[in-house]
Amino acid sequence: MSLEFQAEIAPLFEPFALRSLSLANRVVMAPMTRGFSPSGVPGKDVAGYYARRADCGLIITEGVGVDHPAALGGSGVDGDNAPHMYGRCALEGWRAVVDTVHAAGGKIMPQLWHQGVMREMGTGPHPEVETVRPSGVWGPLDRTAMVTPEYLSNVAAKPGRAMTDEEVVDVIEGFARSARYAMDVGFDGIAIHGAHGYMVDDFLWDGTNSRTDRWGGDHIGRAAFAVELVKAIRREIGLEPVINFRFSQWKQQDVRARLAETPGQLGEILGPIADAGVDIFDGSQRYFDKAEFEGSSLNLAGWAKKLTGKAAQTVGGVGLSSGVYDSKRTGGSDAARENIANVAQRLARGEFDLVGVGRAIMHDPAWVGRVQRGEELLPFAEASRFVLT
């Protein structure tokens, strides 16, 4: 790669600091479910997997189940053996993961996850417990391109009941406890999975939340769960640790879904969540270079930063030639080079502060160093979607 290219991408390799969090560069390994933690306990292989990627400025782990019995299970899209953030064995496992990543010079946050409506009844660490859904529904059943027919009939179409107020509070408390445990074992901050149709997003989205109590109503009312969740986590972990909050317009139930039709609405949703204590908004898009609203080239992360004044992280197809879940995933140096230069330009313009990279880094642990040194990038192979190394 040329010297010109290296100059273009230099903004990616600037350090980033926010209170006690200091990152060597702007590349964040995006959270990616793996299913390599039998009984929810991450082992040495998980530690090695993340440590090999420690040259990312920050690693956000795969989704990690919070301390709530219905947090995890088969979800149609993600596999079994997801890790969790509670219990002595799992927490010891995470302490070893964190220590190994730190010893390799990296920084790491866990992505706290509750599958919400997506969880398949009768599966996961507590198969006996009911799946919890804000309004009893999985979402509209006519826009289900991303799930299998089996999942559609076994999970999505199965009727449920709306959560009680007590059940809502239980989930919030489960997140807060797991955040505390995560800080106790040495993580560098907390990432919250508030996207893609899982629990936090189930409250944000009208396709899964038709409640009329304090957890529902219009888009502002539907943000109350996220607001209380972030406040509860802040109460547990204090003001210093950085909280990263992932959100998305798209859902696995409906890739065309939108939480906000206008920047004004997005501001009304994110503003109170920011005030509750979020430091970084991770705007999850399938393509980082897709403008979110007409009349501006800003992407979702760009709008989050502009509207809240908080730091923002983008993601979606960086380092590849196409976005996640497309059938065409070729990648390789030429396509990737254009993407990387584009994302670095936007970063330099201050549109966002951090750049999430998922599949390219899952596939190639040496990706960050390879980009920085200007080496050729490996072609992306779909077969390596859930890599062992």
Ligand X SMILES: Cc1cc2nc3c(=O)[nH]c(=O)nc-3n(C[C@H](O)[C@H](O)[C@H](O)COP(=O)(O)O)c2cc1C
199-82-85 Cα angle (round to 5): 75
- Which residue, among 51, 54, 5, has the nearest Cα to 28 in the 3D structure? 54
Residue matched to tokens 């005030």: 275
Minimum CB separation of residue 125 from ligand X in Å reads 17
Between 210 and 333, name the residue whose CB sits nearer to ligand X: 333
Between 234 and 359, name the residue whose CB sits nearer to ligand X: 359
**Interface contacts to ligand X, rule CB under 6 A:** 30-33, 62-63, 111, 193, 195-196, 246, 284, 315-318, 320, 323-324, 357-360, 385
- Which residue, among 92, 278, 111, 87, has the nearest Cα to 198 in the 3D structure? 111
- Spatial separation of the C-alpha atoms in residues 174 and 179, rounded to whole Å: 9
Between 177 and 196, name the residue whose CB sits nearer to ligand X: 196
Residue matched to tokens 């990387």: 340
Please state, as a whole number, how many other Cβ atoms lie within 10 Å of the Cβ of residue 205. Answer: 23
Between 235 and 385, name the residue whose CB sits nearer to ligand X: 385
Between 47 and 56, name the residue whose CB sits nearer to ligand X: 56
Minimum CB separation of residue 86 from ligand X in Å reads 17
Strands 21-23 and 16-18: antiparallel
| Residue 325 among the catalytic residues | no
Residue nearest to ligand X (CB): 358
Provide φ and ψ at 353, rounded to 5°.
-110, -25
Minimum CB separation of residue 40 from ligand X in Å reads 14
Distance of CA 107 to the CA centre of its chain: 16
Between 23 and 324, name the residue whose CB sits nearer to ligand X: 324
Provide φ and ψ at 187, rounded to 5°.
-60, 160
- Check 50, 198, 287, 325 and give the catalytic one: 198
Minimum CB separation of residue 360 from ligand X in Å reads 6
Minimum CB separation of residue 100 from ligand X in Å reads 20
Between 98 and 361, name the residue whose CB sits nearer to ligand X: 361
Minimum CB separation of residue 332 from ligand X in Å reads 14
Residues contacting 187, CB < 8 A, separation 6+: 94, 98, 108, 109, 110
Please state, as a whole number, how many other Cβ atoms lie within 10 Å of the Cβ of residue 278. Answer: 27
Using DSSP, state whether 326 is helix, strand or coil: coil
Beta strands in the chain (DSSP E): 16-18, 21-23, 27-29, 58-65, 108-113, 190-193, 243-248, 280-284, 311-314, 354-357
- Which residue, among 38, 33, 138, 133, has the nearest Cα to 77 in the 3D structure? 33
- Spatial separation of the C-alpha atoms in residues 165 and 210, rounded to whole Å: 14
Minimum CB separation of residue 194 from ligand X in Å reads 9
Active site residues: 198
